[in-house]
Amino acid sequence: MSSSYHQPDAPNSPLDDSDSDLDLDIQELDPITTSVAAGLSPSRKERKPQEERRTAHIPLRNLRMGGLRGLGKRNRGYGDLGRDRDGNNEDLHGLLSDEPGVDGANRYSVGSSNGGEDGAPLLAANSHRRRPSIDTFNKLGSHLRLPSFLSTTGSQAPPDDAEGQAEEHDPSSSRTVSVGASQTARFPPNAVSNAKYTPVSFLPVTLYNEFSFFFNMYFLLVALSQAIPPLRIGYLSTYIVPLVAVLAITLGKEAFDDIGRRRRDNEANSEGYTVLCFDEPGVGNAERYHAKKKLKLKQNAKSKRKTLVEPDRLSDIQEEDAAESRGTGLAHFPSASVREVIRKSRDLKVGDVLKLGKDQRVPADVVILKSYTNESAPIAEENEVPITSQSLLVEPISDPPVDSTAATVAEGHESTSKLGNTPSADAGGVGETFIRTDQLDGETDWKLRLGSPLTQSLEPSEFVRLRVVAGKPDKKVNEFVGTVDLLPVNRAGYDPYLPRPPRLSNEVNPEQPSSSTNSAPLTIDNTAWCNTVLASNATTLAVVVYTGSQTRSALSTSPSRSKTGLLEYEINSLTKILCALTATLSVVLVALEGFEKVEGKWYVKMMRFLVLFSTIVPISLRVNLDMGKTVYSWFIQRDTGMPGAVVRTSTIPEELGRIEYLLSDKTGTLTQNEMEMKKIHVGTVSYANEAMDEVASYIKQGFSVPVSTDASQSMLITPSSTFVASTTVTATRTRREIGSRVRDVVLALAICHNVTPTAEEENGQMVTSYQASSPDEIAIVKWTEAVSLRLTHRDRKGMTLHSVDTGRPVVRVRILEVFPFTSDGKRMGIIVQFLDGSETAGSVNIEAGEIWFYQKGADTVMGSIVAANDWLDEETANMAREGLRTLVVGRKRMSVQQYQEFAASYREAAVSINGRDAGMARVVSHYLERDLELLGVTGVEDKLQRDVKPSLELLRNAGIKIWMLTGDKVETARCVAVSAKLVARGQYIHTIAKLKRKDNAQDHLDFLRGKKDSALLIDGESLALLLTHFRTEFIGLAVLLPAVIACRCSPTQKADIAILIREFTKKRICCIGDGGNDVSMIQAADVGVGIVGKEGRQASLAADFSITQFCHLTKLLVWHGRNSYKRSAKLAQFVIHRGLIISVCQTMYSIAIKFEPDGLYKDWLMVGYATVYTMAPVFSLVLDKDVDENLANLYPELYKELTSGSSLSYRTFFVWVFVSIYQGGMIQGLSQILTETSGPKMTAVSFTVLVLNELCMVAFEITTWHPIMIICLLGTLLVYLGSMPFLGRYFDLAFIITWGFVWRVFAIGAISLIPPYAGKLIRRAVKPPSYRKVQAI
């Protein structure tokens, strides 16, 4: 045994000193087998002290640690290692791993996703000398075994090519994350993208979208027809140029919008984060390395080369180790040195360790490793570890034992030492941190998150020994299952140059056998998802587990889609009618001449007619509308009444004028997510607003502690303290009773909570801030401070209250038990023991002070717990009507015996295996929750955003049905719905919650069918059941209700509701939100509006329109939306009229010249008519407005009219068609009659009348004149008159300057214009439009 253990003359390795970069430490290789086990020889035991002083290194090429820990090898001594190597290759199999040796710098470089580089340094140099050993390993073939911490599947063989690229990670499988190291698989980059297109997809997608519109396809066909000589009429450019212009403008706008999105994404992705980088420790590496080289050279000079598998190879290892240990002293070194670097959000990778502080957004899904308050020592000081001799008694890092038993977990959470039972100084001591998740799930409550006990007490330099195993990416934000493994020293990414780190308490003691790897479970409590925000005044170290598209928030978000406005579809259908009219005209004209009489082929003639009449479908329509959209977007962004407004999708501003359903988020959109204590009722008296000063005076009197004569003791108040300040002696008995009640309820509120105070420095002053999972609790504790009772200290064992006036402690309690708030229980309780100041330090006598049980909760559950009273129901109902969140507060005094009985029963219930929760609840109910003394009721308000109430009322009057979709609790949603006036005062709210059965669902639907004026409040669970089984019936009823509040909605559910309403009603939907959890809903809506939130811009970036306040939405819809739609409708009809009138003239001309498809206005006249001669005046209609902004806000009913689409309908369209036919017929017919059938004189008269007719029609249509309109009209008229002398090719210039030309133009113009204008005036007098009625008021 001993000879196999140490042979000084053993032959050396086949490899020279280059092996020194692959040394393995014996104890790290197998701490189990190196420890002394029962049954070893005496010589082995005697040698033990020598082993403890030795640092043993094994030159092994690509071997990773852990192979010896295979089954069957657990209990072997180190000396047994060489025993069966001659017989088989089992040891070799066991030692092999897929991960080649890694050079130190490369292993610890954070963020390299290329796992293939891992082995590069080993295989590159001296490869010809290393081949024999590699070949030996290759003979093992499929027997290679992956350690569990490197394998995602558990049994997959490593790739043959060690230098190959890391494979893309399969998102459907779980992942193993090496903390602080490069990963073996590739994961998606951590970049946010709201862009709709990629450089590759831009052209195909946009062109497809464009040509899916009928009129674009129509013009493409017309333009292509001009390439056929028999069909060519006039210039080819006449047809090609407008089409190219339209496409260029549309594509340009899309590109501009998308580039803007990318730019904003880039800003978000460039946000800097502190990342911990792990390098090889810098202490003495160079010296150690050179010393080793010399030793190796001396040894190698004495020895010959042998093959790797010779039995005596091990002796060489030991000899080298012995020499090594003689030449160097032993030292404590960390596994890695830590440095901080700033890295952009998009450059973060799986495995990176982030250092996050208060109010920082979490950029990816992370697992929390460690959290400490900012008063603790910073990381920088942990990097330098002094060299000391190794002592097994000193344990520099204390790691709590990780075990699956409840007791151990409780101990880990308790964070108290066994000896003194001292509580942790602060919450951060046990790895606690709070996060705000309102951007993720809409919940207002803060969430408590913990570092795993296994990682919380680790030094950051030891993080490289951690492996996190996480499940596949999932969209469920409230679920997570994983484990964290702590590998033995140097096993994680082994590096030969790294000295040994200090031994951890939970690691192998050389005197005792132990397991190789410590594991701990990970749950949702150990995570922080992307887009949550750290709320604690603590520093949190967390490892990135999911990035980019695999984060919870990204998986809950639907991809961006191209949105097309309803107006586009309406114009598309009108275009089809015009096209049918064109085809009909062509067929009729050919038929009138007779198919047999046609020269050449009749279908060629018909095609030429189709091309001639193509102006009926005006291509300039798209140009005008697209330019109009740009103008509307400019108006919105320049509006001083809504600063910060941004138009991200400039193709749908008209949609803002057609909204019928508004789906709004609650948290951060309607509310500020800031709570404020508004009211307190103590049974006979209610305090609110200014009356709170009276409460403060009672507290000052009630908590005035007399100065103790004994300096060593300070008098403390307990609930039964009889002394009060002398000022109350003269007060009436009633006043004294009220004062006593107020004191009791304030004391109860100051004690019954889960709030922890933290001190922060702001502007050079220390400011106390509070941390808790519920903002309601923080609001109440802030209120108690405002009335002179401040919480100054809180830990797991006690809390202290100070008087704000005197600054002295007035109440000190020991916390005996806390019953946290749950969504089912809807209450929280606490048992405390009041200390009166007479206790000695460290005493834990249970009989030393009064024991009280305090409880607060929702009135629905507390009503049956508190003693009988006659005012609770009435007061809670009054507060609820005001939209306040009510909490009922009660208390009960307990004797020591009662408490001990309770504690024994509670402990017994807590350790039972079956029905533990129910048993614990039964004990609490039996011993505590009976006949509590009712102290009072509090009312807390969730502060609304500015002007939310009037905004919602105005939108409701505008005919918009409002739904509130939130991830928050049912009670919270109800309170906000009432306070925001989403639900009218006194309106019945029908609540559907926790629905599990279909028959119950049918009952609810039947009820709603009979009461359609009620508001509906429904939770996510019930909503899912109704949408699964009664989809059509439910949505059919819900869309008729005046208001719907859906709570506990997931982001996906929000999007589903939006899509469902859109598909069922075919109405336009607007969704508004401010958080990452609203992005799916915003993208699913016809119009998505994002509010720039306090914690993030995800919703704002993904939205079509971005605003800074909810109240700006009314202006966006009622003013800008209405104007955009009405202007576009008028502009579209005018452009159609302009194209139709010229086609009617062409038809009249073709009939007059015996059905020949010959153009009336050719070349420049056609192009000029569509551009310089009419475009500016027609386009100036985008500046028109029928009412001013004040009237639009005063009469939101004007907006209601637009939803019917009356501004652009088949009726208005056909009115314009008849006007066009009449005017075109009169102009062309009279021109031919009064001059000649065909010739330059007729062309001059008809074209001049046509241009003037259009200018006059624009003037007739304008409601409110704008200076630009006048300039456009007069300017265009002057341009036309100025260009006439240059139109000699088409006009008879001699005839133009005669009076005959002038009177003909005026006569024909009058006949063409007067009848339509007269008809318009008569109709306006008989049935005035709404805006005229409003203006007349």
Cβ-count burial 537-574 (b if 16+ within 10 Å, e if not): bbbbbbbbbbbbbbbbbbbbbbebeebbbbbbebbeeb
What is the distance between the alpha carbons of residues 863 and 857, in angstroms, rounded to a whole number?
A: 9
Cβ-count burial 468-496 (b if 16+ within 10 Å, e if not): bbbbebeeebeebebbbbbbbbbbbbbbb
User: In whole angstroms, how large is the CA radius of gyration of the chain?
Assistant: 41
The angle, 0 to 180 degrees and rounded to 10, between the axes of the packed helices 1122-1152 and 566-593 is 10
Three-point CA angle 264, 266, 269, nearest 5°: 115
- Whether residue 126 contacts residue 178, with contact meaning beta carbons closer than 8 Å, is answered with no
Tokens of 251: 């594509």
Q: Check if 91 is active-site.
A: no
What is the distance between the alpha carbons of residues 125 and 517, in angstroms, rounded to a whole number?
A: 33
Give alpha helix (H) positions in 279-420.
285-302, 313-327, 380-383, 406-414
Cβ-count burial 219-231 (b if 16+ within 10 Å, e if not): bbebbebbeeeeb
- How buried is residue 68: exposed, middle or buried, by Cβ count under 10 Å (0-12/13-18/19+)? buried
List CB contacts of 233: < 8 A, sequence separation 6 or more.
Answer: 226, 608, 611, 612, 1157, 1159, 1162
What is the distance between the alpha carbons of residues 707 and 719, in angstroms, rounded to a whole number?
A: 19
Which candidate in 316, 321, 665, 942 is catalytic? 665
Distance of CA 390 to the CA centre of its chain: 49
- What single-letter DSSP state applies at residue 1272? H
The H or E element that residue 228 is part of is none
- Whether residue 1047 contacts residue 966, with contact meaning beta carbons closer than 8 Å, is answered with yes
The H or E element that residue 193 is part of is none
What is the distance between the alpha carbons of residues 125 and 1100, in angstroms, rounded to a whole number?
A: 53
**DSSP collapsed to 3 states, 77-140:** CHHHHHCCCCCCCHHHHHHCCCCCCCCHHHHHCCCCCCHHHHHHHHHHCCHHHHHHHHHHHHCC
Residue 213 sits at φ, ψ, to 5 deg, of -85, 135
The Cβ of residue 815 has, within 10 Å, a number of other Cβ atoms equal to 17
Tokens of 872: 């609770």
- What single-letter DSSP state applies at residue 306? -
What is the distance between the alpha carbons of residues 81 and 71, in angstroms, rounded to a whole number?
A: 14
Tokens of 1292: 């008879």
Transcribe 520-554 into DSSP letters: EEE-GGGEE-TT-EE-SSEEEEEEEEE-GGGSHHH
- Of 1185, 1184, 1261, nearest to 1219 by C-alpha is 1261
Structure-token match 């339509």, residue found: 1316
Q: What is the dihedral of CA 186, 192, 198, 201, to 10 degrees?
A: 90
1043 forms bridges with which residues in the sheet?
Answer: 962
Give alpha helix (H) positions in 594-637.
602-612, 620-637
Tokens of 1234: 């009064």
Q: Active-site positions?
A: 665
